[in-house]
Structure 1
Amino acid sequence: MYIRRVKIEKEYHYVLRETVRAHDAWVSRDLMDLGTDPCRHIEYPGGNGFYFNPEVDEALCAKGVEYASEDLEEVFFPFLEPHVRRVVRNFSHPPGRCRGPNAVPGEDLWKYEQELHLFDKRRLHYLRCGRIDIGELEGRSWKFLKVLLGKCRDEIECVIEGMEGRLRPQELGSYVYAAFNLQSHFPGHVLRNIPAGLDPDRIDECLLAEICRLNDDPRYFAGMNGHDGRTLHPFLVKYLILHFDHGYERRSLLDEHMNDFERRRRFARPAPRGAGMALQEAFAVFGITDKEFQAMSRRELVRRYRRHARHRHPDQGGNHEDFLRLTRAYEVLLVRK
């Protein structure tokens, strides 16, 4: 369940909704109109205690919803009194955790993660990590995506909007740039991950093209009715506003470039497709088989690399080319751990 703010006639209402599975897609259904203020459905008998008006339970029972009191606490958490929120936060799970009837079974995690749109993955990656240089998000499972699994398009937008509200104003421009993967339009450009140093008119053109492409993507709007692509959906209108109302953080381009340079070399990255070392060749460099590698933990791989590196390092009398080959093999294997 989740609470969505929607405009009904001339005023905004809060609607209690839930995500359900229908026809191989996640869809939302309305459970109860909470009116203009969800707080009126919460009663405080004294101290730090609280309970929900009986009409909430009646509405959910009439819809056949199975839920626990903790589910309602999580949904109404933002509308609790501040001092009560502090108490609840200290004695319960973090808000936003996937739980209740919509929790995704373990065997379906990979299946449902494959259903997530790449736009959602890029947005959540920036919101979690704050990095424009996102890298390759497809082809493997990512734990940070679990918060979006088992949710319809409307609920995903609700979750992401809540996280977007915590961004600083100077981060909004970079967030839109990364979410729409605009760096892909500047291949090979030394400043592709530093939008403040790129041609702003070119960035505007690329953003408009990407937004129009997403607006026509049926996969992004899976489970939703009423969108024909002839007008820009409200989910996407806000990104135009964010882009044109917020520029990029104007720090020293040299500092930005050096930070990007250091970050690229601090973390192990997969070799570009069509280049680098083959997996079997990497096994041969380390003197292991495929089966031995599968049974090996990440820690064991690191230890083996350090042991080989001590003997092959040029400062220890080793061959420079052998040491580089060992490092390339290590990067190929590490990314698979």
Structure 2
Amino acid sequence: MYMKKISFCGSIRYVIRDSYWNGSCWTHRDLFDLGADPTRFIHYVGGNGFYFDEVIEDRLSELGIKYTTEELEEVFFPFLAPHIRRIIRMFGSNEPEHIKKWHDLSQEELARHHEDLHPFDKRRVHFLRCGRIDMGNLDCRPFKHFNILLEKSRDERETLIEAMEARLKPREIRTYVYAAFNLQDYFRGSLMRNHPAALDPEKVEEVFLDALCRLNADPFFFRGVPDHDPKFLHPYLRRYVIYFFDYEFGRSPGWEDFIRSIFSSQEWRAYQRLRSRKTTPLPEACKLLGIDDGKLNSMSVKDVTRIYRQLAKKAHPDAGGDHETFIAITQAYESIMRYMALKGR
């Protein structure tokens, strides 16, 4: 069982749902409509004691749903009083029973179960767990952190993953979308494929929309989802449009390693000395990138990034450019980015 938050015409309501096998795939069904306030079904009796309204238990029994008290606590967990949540975290099981059951399977058996998982689901969970863009072949090994997706409908998987996404930092969100949709696959052979901030932003937007449309028309992804018309973007995918276009790429964790890999030891030491200096003065940074500092305030992060990318391509050591120039414009770009961040842009 799980709780689904449903937004419609400006109002919000919550529904208890469950995933079930319909004979050919996992799908979902509504069990109980909680309305706008699930807390009204929780009754406290003093101390740490509480119970759920009998109307819920009666309805679940009527439907023949088998459940435990712990499962119902998990469904209502976000709406329990803070001191109750602390007690459950302290003394409750670290892992639900429906996850523990996969631990005793061999790698081969687990791999067979993971065949039911869509690559998009694997990439999302892997990034949320490990924070990596370069994931390699996720089918070659049945990672245990994929087990949370097993025996769940598309609706329950989306509910679970969306809750995990809520813990992302703003600077991680667009990079997460880039990795989840495997956009780096569109840039094979590019040195910057795992550093999306340095790629052509218009090309990245183009391939994102292409990948989004492909996924929206993928019957494997929408297995068990009734009445999906590929002509219209499904609500499960709409949030990714917001994630992609409302956020900017942050500095990837591997940026420093990438910079180091393209320099010799002497060049790397020069770069480190430059980085150890004070921030490049803004007028000087603008001059290095050929930006009129009087017009900087009217420019967007995307505009500055486009200019930096063009200059970096020419100055890149692999393209026969001058490494000192490359270091200087990189430092200037970083200075301008810090200035724009301070201005909330």
Q: Same fold (TM over 0.5)?
A: yes
Matched residue, 2:207: 206
Matched residue, 1:312: none
Provide, for residues 152-202 of structure 1, a one-character-per-residue CA deviation record: whole Å limited to 9, x for no partner: 000000000000000000100100000000111111211111111111000
Task: Kindly report which structure 2 residues correspond to 1:215-234, keeping only aligned pairs within 5 A, or say none.
Answer: 215-234=216-235
Amino acid of the structure 2 residue aligned with 1:39: T
Amino acid of the structure 1 residue aligned with 2:36: T
Matched residue, 2:170: 169
Provide, for residues 307-330 of structure 1, a one-character-per-residue CA deviation record: whole Å limited to 9, x for no partner: xxxxxxxxxxxxxxxxxxxxxxxx
Matched residue, 1:36: 36
Task: Kindly report which structure 2 residues correspond to 1:193-272, keeping only aligned pairs within 5 A, or say none.
Answer: 193-250=194-251, 255=256, 257-258=258-259
Task: Kindly report which structure 2 residues correspond to 1:36-115, keeping only aligned pairs within 5 A, or say none.
Answer: 36-94=36-94, 97=96, 99=98, 109-115=110-116
Q: Is the Cα contact below 8 Å between 1:196 and 1:249 reproduced in 2?
A: yes
Counterpart CA distance in 2 for 1:240 and 1:8 is 19
Pair 254,7 (structure 1): closer, same or farther in 2 beyond 3 Å: closer
Count of residue pairs the alignment pairs up: 259
- Measured after TM superposition, the shift of residue 4 of structure 1 is 0.2
- Measured after TM superposition, the shift of residue 9 of structure 1 is 5.9
Provide, for residues 228-280 of structure 1, a one-character-per-residue CA deviation record: whole Å limited to 9, x for no partner: 2010111111111110000111579962624889xxxxxxxxxxxxxxxxxxx
Name the stretch that deviates more: 85-94 or 161-170: 85-94
For the aligned residue pairs, the C-alpha RMSD in angstroms reads: 2.3
Counterpart CA distance in 1 for 2:85 and 2:190 is 47
- Measured after TM superposition, the shift of residue 22 of structure 1 is 1.0
Counterpart CA distance in 1 for 2:101 and 2:18 is 12
Pair 8,104 (structure 1): closer, same or farther in 2 beyond 3 Å: farther
Identity of aligned residues (%): 45
Amino acid of the structure 2 residue aligned with 1:152: S
Query: Gaps (5+ residues) in structure 2?
Result: 263-345
- Measured after TM superposition, the shift of residue 109 of structure 1 is 4.0
- Measured after TM superposition, the shift of residue 83 of structure 1 is 1.3
Provide, for residues 130-153 of structure 1, a one-character-per-residue CA deviation record: whole Å limited to 9, x for no partner: 111111101331101011111000
Task: Kindly report which structure 2 residues correspond to 1:280-295, keeping only aligned pairs within 5 A, or say none.
Answer: none
Provide, for residues 64-108 of structure 1, a one-character-per-residue CA deviation record: whole Å limited to 9, x for no partner: 10111111011111111111101110101236x3529x9669666
Q: TM-score, normalised by structure 1?
A: 0.72
Counterpart CA distance in 1 for 2:202 and 2:9 is 38
Counterpart CA distance in 2 for 1:252 and 1:68 is 42
Pair 60,172 (structure 1): closer, same or farther in 2 beyond 3 Å: same
Q: Is the Cα contact below 8 Å between 1:26 and 1:223 reproduced in 2?
A: yes
Amino acid of the structure 1 residue aligned with 2:140: G
